[in-house]
Structure 1
């Protein structure tokens, strides 16, 4: 069982439009509303693959109730912590070429009591969990050290932690040695304080994060594939994608695939790549089911082409 923690969940509405013309009245060709937040998406991808998962998250107001209902409809068990603020709603506008414009709300500000209640809820439910996946930004009211405290408590209980966050909350958590972290290229660059132009740059950045405390780094590099840097070395994986429809939640699907495949080693990296490649070809933040995966298309190697330039260099 994989338990996910999403401190700042959302309702995500996605509109597909022929073109995004600023100042114009746009008519969507399709629209959908999905549960949102990085940990929520990990649970959704796990559930889509038939894996048991439990989502721990704060819930507030009608939007929070709607979010819990949508998750329940997908077969996901929810352990909600009531909060006074309103669960946020986000909007994404997707164009035919895969360009995505997102408007993310700030979300509620949690009180100190609500922040501690969220930690306690995780502690009450982590028995029997193979992994805890802590994902996403921290809402207002939670100190950058909140994830670090959660990692420390989980490790004392003997539970492995996967962490997908960035900025000060990632920096603070590294000292507690999370078992795996999952940055994208931009987050890697931010963490080491310099731009990344090549795969070699990304490998070096991941190695530095391991030096800072991460036991393994699973780095999503968009169209360039994924890197796994751990105690066994460095491996690089990729898969062809016919057309990108939406990249919302693709990194979350990758993490779900990685953890469902054990969370360590080359086989887990291959599963992460297959899930990420499938996710970008689906609308909105729809998570891939087994029928959407093409494991035979995945290629993983330890001969990393270090000089290869990134398609989208990270500033």
Structure 2
């Protein structure tokens, strides 16, 4: 079982539009409404693969009730933490050329009692978990050290923990030695405080995160592929993608694929790349099923192309 923790979930509305023009009336070609939040998306991808998952998340108001309903319809066990504030609603505008514009609301502020209840809920559901995936931004009220506390408690209970967050929350959590962290290129550059222009730059940054506490780093480099760096080696994975429809949740699908395949080594990286590549071919934040995967399109190698320039360098 994979337990996911999403401290700041959302109700996500995605509209497919021909092009985004400021000040104009734009007619959507399609629309979707999905439960959102990085941990929620990991649970959705795990469930789509036919595996058991439990999603721990604070929920409030009508949007929160709808998130729970949508998750239940997808076969996901929900461990809700009732909060007074209303769950946030996010908007994504997906243009025909693949450009995505997102408007993310801040979400509710959690009281001290709600914070304690969230931690208690994670603890009570972690006993049967093969992995605990803590994902996304922290809502107002939670200290940047909150994820570090979760990592420490998870390890004390014998669980493995994957962390997908950024900024100070990531840096604080590194000291607790999470089993794997999954930054994208922008988050990786922010964490080490320098630009990334090549795959080699990304590799050095991932190694630096390991030196400061991460036991393994699964770094998403967007269209350029993914890196896995651990104490047993480093690998680079990429996949052929004919057309990108939406990249919403692609990184979350990658993390789910990685954990489903055991969360270690090149086989898990290949699964991560396959799931991410499948996700970008689907609308909105739809998570791929096994039928959507194309393992033959995935390449994983220990011969990392250090000099390859990133398609979208991060300054």
Cα deviation, residue 113, structure 1: 1.2
Q: For the residues of structure 2 that align with 1:232 and 1:96, how far apart are their CA atoms? A: 41
Structure 1 residue 231, shift from structure 2 partner: 0.6
Q: Distance in 2 between matches of 1:272 and 1:230?
A: 15
Which consecutive aligned stretches of 4+ in structure 1 deviate over 2 angstroms post-superposition? none
Write out per-residue CA displacement over residues 12-42 of structure 1, whole angstroms, 9 at most, x where no aligned residue. Answer: 0000011111100010010010010000000
Unpaired runs of at least 5, structure 1:
none
Whether 1:298 aligns to 2:292 is no
Number of the residue aligned with 1:200: 200
Q: Which residue of 2 aligns with 1:250?
A: 250
**2:186 counterpart of 1:189:** no
Counterpart residue number, 2:16: 16
Question: Deviation at 1:128?
Answer: 1.2
Offset at residue 236 of structure 1 (A)? 0.1
Report the equivalent of 2:265. 265
> What TM-score do you get using the length of structure 1 for normalisation?
1.00
Q: Which ranges of structure 2 fall in alignment gaps of 5 or more residues?
A: none
Q: Deviations over 1:246-273 (max 9, x none)?
A: 0000000000000000000010000000
Structure 2 counterpart SS, 1:108: coil
Measured on the aligned residues, the alpha-carbon RMSD in Å equals 0.4
Report the Cα distance in structure 1 between the residues aligned to 2:113 and 2:187, rounded to whole angstroms: 30
Tell me the residue number matched to 2:168: 168
Per the alignment, residue 57 of structure 1 pairs with 57
**Counterpart secondary structure, 2:244:** coil
CA separation in 2, counterparts of 1:106 and 1:305?
39
CA distance in 2: counterparts of 1:247 and 1:112, whole angstroms: 35
Distance, in Å, in 1 between the alignment partners of 2:32 and 2:149 is 36
Find the residue that maps to 2:150 and give its secondary structure: helix
1:153: which partner in 2? Answer: 153
Residue 76 of structure 2 is matched in structure 1 by 76
CA distance in 1, matches of 2:129, 2:227: 25
Cα distance in structure 2, aligned partners of 1:184 and 1:247: 13
What's the offset of the Cα at 1:232?
1.3
Cα deviation digits, residues 222-252 of structure 1 (max 9, x gap): 0000000001121000001001110000000
Shift of 1:127: 1.0
